[in-house]
């Protein structure tokens, strides 16, 4: 492996700022690694060599002239291709946006750059972030670096594969129902969904607006904490962003778990969850108890209805958000058509893939006259029940610990023709989005050479508590130091 | 409850999707599968439960009313499939 590519983001930033290495050297190493492995991993849809070199040079100049450099100085990052990047093609993995070049940056992209990070490319995803394997990408699936004939998970599968394959130390993803945590779990890395409102979504191409959040993927907890510290915080351009102070998440590094109360909700170990995955998660909980935490089984009864409620709410919001792709303002336009309605109908039929069309159909139906109360309103009421369950659990426990994904990475193609089976991949992660709370996935073992992830949930704006447990567990194990052989 | 072919046609029309018969048949099968799955929600008693639209509710979010530079017209139109004289071009909507 090329030098520097195995370093953590915090190591890179520290050594770039001290002048031990240059951002240019680190960037070249990342680009070389991408050139060496990405024809097999296929994590990237676009590699931005020239812009990356220019950004690295700017960082090196700042270091040389003694200017203030940010906490991510010279750190290569991959950005999910549903985050707008000024002057860089943003496809959303869709044929409807083959050559869309945003005229502005997403707020998180601006914050990364201001912190000194160097974007090396745009990562593959399921079309419009709808899916759990990247197989819905119009540009072909990414591969799991641990076993190339398996999916990396999704929808932020390109971001997860890039980090796991040491193409970049960190990446950004988006998470609407598990799209950061599930691929992190399947690729053996760390991924977290912040509290709804913690991170700006300005410039994130909208899927389901009441659920979407942007978050980091990394190879260690510390890097995830570092990136979250950079991207979190209020943004006048996103009115759902909450004006709460951003703590130094890394400060919880040494806090330990003594006296912490861990809830283990039994619904997340039920039918459909591989018992071997459940065993590894329970073993991790036991390990935390040896360090002084106290664990107890608990129940979130409404969670079993979560998948159904989610598959009303998310498609309903998607059908509304995706109405903007009409062949007029940007993106694909059908070559032949009859009238303005015909133009929209043909453009959207040609541009959207089958899964996106399906969700638009479901959402349109659920919101249509006469069905709104039976579907959308009822799903939102169920969402209240889910929130209440979490509220009562967090009255008793500091964190809840569950599996992230019910299974390890599945073979490419296995679920491609069974959308319902594909949706079950998110059964453990959806409740977190429905409740708006933060959760992190960290590696907790392997089954037949494939990684298993542990999910730690905390109350809204309780990221520090979540990090405390994640740091403690990572410190006791070496799962996060293992690398796939590529 | 399963959707009939006519109902599917009408949903596709509302969604502005020109589907072939084959696509409509596939989408209909999948949609009906999903509707069967979510049917379980109808059995839940949600009487008197307020709906949750946003998990972290915020109301009346204000910001200072200050000018910010906006995008140039040419930048906004740069991604348009067809633009002319500073406007997006669309098919004729009003008949002569």
Does residue B39 belong to any structural domain of this protein? yes
Q: Quick one: pLDDT at residue A166?
A: 98
d(CA A4, CA A1): 9
Considering only CA atoms, which of A441, A485, A465, A464 is closest in space to residue A280? A441
d(CA A46, CA A122): 5
The position carrying tokens 């990408």 is A137
Instruction: Residue window 366-385, chain A: list those with CB within 8 Å of chain B.
Output: 368, 374-375, 377-385
**What is the total count of domains within chain A?**
1
Q: Which residues of A169-195 are buried (b: 16+ CB within 10 A; e: fewer)?
A: bbbbbbbbbbbbbbbbbbbbbbbbbbb
Measured between beta carbons, the chain A residues lying within 8 angstroms of B82 are: 333
How far is the C-alpha of A384 from the C-alpha of A370, rounded, in Å?
A: 22
In B35-94, the residues whose Cβ lies within 8 Å of chain A are 37-38, 40-42, 44, 46, 49-56, 58, 61, 63, 71, 75-76, 78-82, 88, 90-93
B17 domain-assigned: yes
Determine the straight-line distance between the first and last CA of chain A, rounded to whole angstroms.
9
Question: Can you tell me the mean pLDDT for B31-50?
Answer: 93
Model pLDDT, residue A282 = 98
Residue A60: CATH number of its domain: 3.90.1300.10
Residues 58-87 of A with CB under 8 A from B: none
d(CA A467, CA A224) in angstroms, rounded, equals 9
Q: Which residues of B touch A322 (CB under 8 A)?
A: none
Q: Is A209 a catalytic residue?
A: no
Alpha carbon distance A233, B59 (integer Å)? 18
Contact indicator for A40, A148 with CB cutoff of 8 Å? yes
Taking contacts as CB-CB distances below 8 angstroms, the residues of chain A near B54 are 196, 210, 240, 436
Residue B9 lies in a domain: yes
Asked if A158 and A120 touch (Cβ cutoff 8 Å), the reply is: no
Measured between beta carbons, the chain A residues lying within 8 angstroms of B88 are: 328-329
Top pLDDT among B68 and A98 is at A98
Mean local confidence (pLDDT), B18-44: 94
HSE-up (13 A, CA, CB side) for residue A283: 14
In the stretch 403-422 of chain A, residues with CB closer than 8 A to chain B read 419-420
Q: Is B73 inside a domain boundary?
A: no
CA A323 vs. chain centroid, Å, equals 24
Distance from the Cα of B39 to chain A's closest Cα (Å) equals: 8
Give the whole-angstrom CA distance, residue A304 versus residue A427. Answer: 9
The answer to whether the Cβ–Cβ distance between B30 and A345 falls below 8 Å is: no
In the block, tokens 């799962």 appear at: A479
For the question of residue A10 being annotated catalytic, the response is no
CB contact under 8 A, B12 and A361: yes
Closest CA to A451 of A149, A164, A132, A187: A187
Look at A364 and B14 and tell me if their CB atoms are within 8 Å. yes
pLDDT at residue B63 in the model: 82
Instruction: Identify the segments of chain A with pLDDT beneath 50.
Output: none
Window 10-39 of A, Cβ < 8 Å to B = none
* H or E segment and range at residue A376: none
**Contact residues on chain B for A331, CB-CB shorter than 8 A:** 79, 81
| Least Cα separation, residue B86 to chain A (angstroms) | 12
Q: Are A136 and A179 within 8 A, CB to CB?
A: no
Is residue A352 a contact partner of residue B17, using CB atoms and an 8 Å limit? Answer: yes
Model's pTM, two decimal places? 0.97
B56 closest CB neighbour out of A197, A340, A381:
A197
Cβ distance B55 to A434 less than 8 Å, yes or no, reads yes
**Closest by CA position to A218, among listed A386, A385, A12:** A12
| pLDDT grade for B95, boundaries at 50, 70 and 90 | confident
User: What residue of A is the nearest CA neighbor of B13?
Assistant: A345
The answer to whether the Cβ–Cβ distance between A305 and B31 falls below 8 Å is no
Of A189-193, A366-370, B59-63, B65-69, least confident by mean pLDDT is B59-63
Model pLDDT for residues A382-428, shown as the tens digit of each residue: 999 999 999 999 999 999 999 999 999 999 999 988 888 888 999 99
- The reported pLDDT for the residue numbered B1 is 64
Scanning the structure block, which residue is given the tokens 């690295």?
A56
Q: How many CA atoms lie within 13 A of A266 on its CB side?
A: 5
Contact between residue A202 and residue A47 where contact means Cβ atoms under 8 Å apart: no
CA distance B29 to chain A (A): 10
Residues 419-438 of A with CB under 8 A from B: 419-420, 434-437
- Domain span at residue A439? 1-486
- Those residues whose C-beta lies under 8 Å from the C-beta of residue A104, and which sit 6 or more positions away, are A84, A86, A203, B71
Domain that holds residue B10: 5-43
A87-92: Cβ within 8 A, 24+ apart: A87/A51, A88/A46, A88/A48, A88/A51, A88/A119, A88/A122, A89/A45, A89/A46, A89/A122, A90/A122, A90/A205, A91/A45, A91/A46, A91/A122, A91/A138, A91/A139, A92/A125, A92/A127, A92/A128, A92/A129, A92/A205
Does the annotation count A80 as an active-site position?
yes
Which residues in B lie closer than 8 A to residue A434 (C-beta atoms)? 55
What interhelical angle do A463-476 and A221-231 show, nearest 10? 160
Q: Does B29 map to a domain?
A: yes
- B53 contacts A308? CB cut-off 8 A: no
Q: Report which DSSP code applies to A270.
A: S
Rounded CA Rg of chain B: 23
Active-site hit among A133, A174, A179, A319: A179
Q: How far is CA A337 from the centre of its chain?
A: 38
Within-domain flag for B25 = yes
Which is more confident, B64 or B50? B50
The CA-atom distances, in angstroms, between B78 and each of A90, A103, A160, A323, A348 are 14, 9, 32, 20, 20
Residue A424 class from Cβ within 10 Å (0-12 exposed, 13-18 middle, 19+ buried)? Answer: middle
Give CA–CA dist A198/B13, Å, rounded: 38
Tell me which residue of A19, A14, A474, A405 sits closest to A226, measured CA to CA.
A14
H-type alpha helices, A322-377: 339-351, 354-367
**Is there a contact between A239 and B61 if contact means CB atoms under 8 Å apart?**
yes
The three state secondary structure string of chain B is CCCCHHHHHHHHHHCCCCCCHHHHHHHHHHHHHHHHHHHHHHHCCCCCCCCCCCCCCCCCCCCCCCCCCCCCHHHHHCCCCCEECCEECCCCCCCC
B91 within some domain: no
Distance CA B37, CA A307 (A): 9
Per DSSP, A299 falls in state -
Angle at A115 between CA A113 and CA A117, to 5 degrees: 55
Which tokens hold the place of A446? 């392997």
CB contact under 8 A, A383 and B55: yes
């Amino acid at each position: 492996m090329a030098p520097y590519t195995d370093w953590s983001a915090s190591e890179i930033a520290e050594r770039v700022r001290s002048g031990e290495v240059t951002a240019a050297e680190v960037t070249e190493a990342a680009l070389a690694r991408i050139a060496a492995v990405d024809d097999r991993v296929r994590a990237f849809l676009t590699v931005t060599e020239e812009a990356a070199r220019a950004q690295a040079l700017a960082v090196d100049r700042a270091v040389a002239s003694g200017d203030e450099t940010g906490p991510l100085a010279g750190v290569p990052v991959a950005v999910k291709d549903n985050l707008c990047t000024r002057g860089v093609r943003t496809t959303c993995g869709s044929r409807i946006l083959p050559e869309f070049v945003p005229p502005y940056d997403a707020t998180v992209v601006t914050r990364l750059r201001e912190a000194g990070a160097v974007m090396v490319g745009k990562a593959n995803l399921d079309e419009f972030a709808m899916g759990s394997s990247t197989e819905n990408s119009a540009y072909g699936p990414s591969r799991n670096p641990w076993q190339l004939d398996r999916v990396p998970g999704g929808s932020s599968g390109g971001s997860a594969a890039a980090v796991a394959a040491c193409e970049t130390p960190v990446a950004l993803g988006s998470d609407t129902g598990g799209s950061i945590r599930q691929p992190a779990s399947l690729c053996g890395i760390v991924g977290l969904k912040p509290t709804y409102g913690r991170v700006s979504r300005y410039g994130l191409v909208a899927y389901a607006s009441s659920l979407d959040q942007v978050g980091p993927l990394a190879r260690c907890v510390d890097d995830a904490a570092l990136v979250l510290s950079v991207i979190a915080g209020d943004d006048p351009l996103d009115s759902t962003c909450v004006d709460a102070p951003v703590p130094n998440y890394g400060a919880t590094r040494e806090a330990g778990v003594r006296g912490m109360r861990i809830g283990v909700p039994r619904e997340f170990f039920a039918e459909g969850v591989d018992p071997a995955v459940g065993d590894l998660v329970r073993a991790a909980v036991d390990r935390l108890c040896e360090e002084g935490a106290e664990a107890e089984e608990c129940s979130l009864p409404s969670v079993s209805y979560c998948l159904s409620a989610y598959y009303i709410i998310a498609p309903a919001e998607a059908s509304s958000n995706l109405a903007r792709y009409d062949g007029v303002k940007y993106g694909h336009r059908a070559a032949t058509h009859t009238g303005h309605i015909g133009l929209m109908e043909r453009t959207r039929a040609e541009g959207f893939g089958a899964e996106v069309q399906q969700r638009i159909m479901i959402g349109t139906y659920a919101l249509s006259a006469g069905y709104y109360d039976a579907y959308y309103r009822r799903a939102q009421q169920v969402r209240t029940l889910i929130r209440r369950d979490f509220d009562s659990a967090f009255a008793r426990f500091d964190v809840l610990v569950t599996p992230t994904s019910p299974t390890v990475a599945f073979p490419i193609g296995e679920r491609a023709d069974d959308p319902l089976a594909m949706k079950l991949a998110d059964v453990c992660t959806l409740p977190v989005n429905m409740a708006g709370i933060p959760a992190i996935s960290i590696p907790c073992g392997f089954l037949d050479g494939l990684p298993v992830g542990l999910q730690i949930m905390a109350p809204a704006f309780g990221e520090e508590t979540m990090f405390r447990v994640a740091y403690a567990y990572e410190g006791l194990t070496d799962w996060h130091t293992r690398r796939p052989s590529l | 409850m399963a959707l009939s072919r006519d109902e599917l046609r009408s949903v596709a029309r509302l969604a502005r999707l020109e589907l072939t018969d084959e696509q409509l048949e596939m989408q209909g099968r999948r949609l009906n599968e999903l509707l069967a799955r979510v049917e379980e929600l109808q059995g839940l008693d949600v009487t008197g439960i307020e709906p949750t639209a946003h998990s972290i509710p915020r109301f009346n979010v204000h910001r200072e009313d200050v000018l910010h530079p906006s995008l140039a017209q040419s930048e906004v139109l740069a991604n348009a499939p067809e633009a002319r004289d500073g406007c997006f071009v669309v098919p004729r909507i009003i008949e002569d």
